[in-house]
């Protein structure tokens, strides 16, 4: 099977007319943009955004640019592109989009396609080191944008997403899919930040939550929530 052949469950819509005059790109996103703006307070959405690529030095155009403030003034940027081809999006399209995201410095990328995606494109997107979602119009309108934003790596300039592997109590911990940095979501205050995977870590958001980082053969294998303690010597007795 050729993975870059169109997937059978994703045929062209019955009313798809490649010769028809298309609406302006931003029209396609009206409902999706409204959903973003409603679900997240500290965000700015710009249609037909233009900026100079940090690698290419060339002015790049982005259909929709989302900039959202997450937690402790950590800004996440998302580039949303609409691909209105008369064919499904291919592996080469995904490869080009990954390079585009890196050039414009976006933390995350979304492609919305009228004609669907090939099997190879889907697998390539799933395996991308940077976060990438491929959606059709209907999926974009119902997409959980809040979750998409809040699981972003907190390391500056990183394009990855946190994979939550461990939990204890209400706290979660995991590593970034791109840079490998260790993150904890505090079960007390809800903040997310990256940590050094030391023996004991304290919440960086001034709350009283602490965690013991559990190790096995030198590798992190879990976390344990600890009660607040003013006596540092107690840490070695836990």
From residue 64, give the alpha-carbon distance in Å to each of 70, 130, 175, 201: 19, 18, 28, 38
| Of 150, 211, 164, 220, residue with least CA distance to 186 | 211
What is the tens place of the pLDDT at every residue in 68-124?
A: 887 667 788 889 888 877 788 899 999 999 999 989 988 889 888 878 888 888 888
Q: State yes or no: pLDDT of 15 exceeds 70.
A: no
- Kindly report the number of other CB atoms within 10 A of residue 212's CB atom: 17
Q: End-to-end CA distance of the chain, in Å?
A: 55
Q: State yes or no: pLDDT of 11 exceeds 60.
A: no
Task: For residue 34, give the 3-state DSSP assignment.
Answer: helix
Least confident interval from 17-31, 32-46, 107-121, 168-182 = 17-31
Contact 168/177 with Cβ under 8 angstroms? no
pLDDT computed for residue 14 by the predictor: 56
Q: State yes or no: pLDDT of 25 exceeds 60.
A: no
- Residues 6+ positions from 206 with CB-CB distance below 8 Å: none
Contact 175/196 with Cβ under 8 angstroms? no
pLDDT computed for residue 75 by the predictor: 83
User: If you average pLDDT over residues 163-190, what whole number do you get?
Assistant: 93
What is the tens place of the pLDDT at every residue in 124-173?
A: 888 777 778 888 777 877 788 777 887 888 887 787 889 899 999 999 99
Q: Where are the domains of the chain?
A: 25-150, 162-237
| Of 205, 200, 199, 158, residue with least CA distance to 186 | 205
CATH code, residues 25-150: 3.40.1350.10
């Amino acid at each position: 099977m050729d993975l870059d052949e169109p997937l059978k469950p994703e045929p062209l819509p019955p009313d798809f007319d490649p010769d028809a005059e298309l609406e302006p790109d931003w029209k396609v996103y009206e409902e999706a943009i409204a959903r973003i703006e409603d679900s997240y307070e500290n965000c700015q959405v710009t249609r037909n955004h233009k900026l100079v690529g940090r690698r290419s030095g060339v002015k790049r155009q982005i259909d929709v640019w989302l900039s959202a403030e997450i937690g402790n003034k950590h800004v996440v940027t998302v580039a949303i592109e609409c691909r209105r081809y008369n064919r499904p999006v291919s592996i080469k399209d995904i490869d080009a989009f990954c390079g585009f995201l890196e050039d414009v410095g976006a933390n995350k990328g979304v492609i919305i396609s009228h004609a669907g995606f090939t099997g190879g494109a889907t697998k390539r997107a799933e395996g991308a080191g940077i976060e990438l979602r491929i959606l059709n119009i209907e999926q974009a309108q119902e997409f959980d944008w809040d979750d998409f934003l809040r699981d972003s790596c907190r390391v500056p300039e990183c394009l990855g997403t946190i994979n939550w592997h461990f939990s204890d109590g209400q706290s979660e911990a995991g590593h970034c899919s791109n840079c490998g940095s260790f993150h904890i979501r505090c079960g007390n205050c809800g903040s997310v930040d990256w940590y050094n995977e030391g023996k004991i870590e304290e919440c960086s958001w001034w709350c009283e939550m602490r965690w013991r980082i559990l190790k096995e053969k030198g590798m992190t294998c879990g976390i344990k929530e600890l009660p607040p303690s003013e006596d540092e010597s107690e840490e070695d007795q836990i």
